[in-house]
Amino acid sequence: MKANRLVLLLALVVSFSSLAFTQTQQITRIAVVDMQKIYLTYYSDSSAVRNFEAEKQKIQEQIKKLSDEIMDLQKKKLQLQTDGKLSEAAALDVEIAKKAQYLSDFIRIKKAELDEKAQKLMNTDDFMNRLYKTVQQVAESEGYSIVLDIRGINQVTSNIIWFTPLIDITDKVLQVMLKN
């Protein structure tokens, strides 16, 4: 009797541990979508989204410009230190700190502004709502956990270096949107 209980207990432990192992081994499936292609397909409907994307791009360019200025100053400071001009390097260090603080504040403020505009866009723009619901619907029906944009609307390149066309759901999203 004790042996039967022990075998039953052992069988339960093995089955629960294999169930837990199976659930931790789930693979996250990732899809990509070409938002620019969708925006161009629905050009007249997507003007608010395209304007928002253009504003994001301008802010990114400003951030890059400010970051480059700081980088140049850091290089000058290093050269001054190498040349033994420590007082000039110290003065430059103060300027670097001010610019770095300005950049940090700029990023924080612009991020908050963009987040607020994105939230308004999601709540008021019918096209945007329909697009994201369609992407969500297609992704869930295909078993994807994450969907990435292949490229931003104003970007020439993408952060995605390579992907297989098998995970591109752009055409499926367009088909569903056209049906609706």
Q: Which amino acid is at 156?
A: V
Residue 19 binned pLDDT confidence (cut-offs 50, 70, 90): low
Report which of 162, 178, 179 is spatially closest to residue 30, judged by C-alpha positions: 162
Instruction: Please tell me which of 6-10, 34-38, 118-122 the model is most confident about, judged by mean pLDDT.
Output: 34-38
Section 114-133 average pLDDT: 84
Helices (H), 83-179: 86-124, 126-142, 170-179
Position 14 pLDDT exceeds 70: no
Name which of 2-11, 63-72, 121-130, 157-166 the model is least confident about: 2-11
Q: Which amino acid is at 16?
A: F
Q: Do the Cβ atoms of 32 and 169 come closer than 8 Å?
A: yes
In this prediction, residue 158 carries a pLDDT of: 60
Residue 80 binned pLDDT confidence (cut-offs 50, 70, 90): very high
Percent with pLDDT over 70 in the chain: 81
Position 12 pLDDT exceeds 70: no
**CA 78 to CA 52: how far, in whole Å?**
39
DSSP state of 29: P
CA-CA-CA-CA torsion sign (38, 42, 48, 50): positive
CA-CA-CA-CA torsion sign (39, 42, 44, 45): negative
Please give the torsion angle defined by the CA atoms of residues 44, 48, 53 and 59, in that order, rounded to the nearest 10 degrees. 140
Residue 150 binned pLDDT confidence (cut-offs 50, 70, 90): confident
In this prediction, residue 152 carries a pLDDT of: 58
Position 7 pLDDT exceeds 80: no
Structural domain boundaries in the chain: 2-179
Helix (H, G, I), strand (E, B) or coil at 168: strand
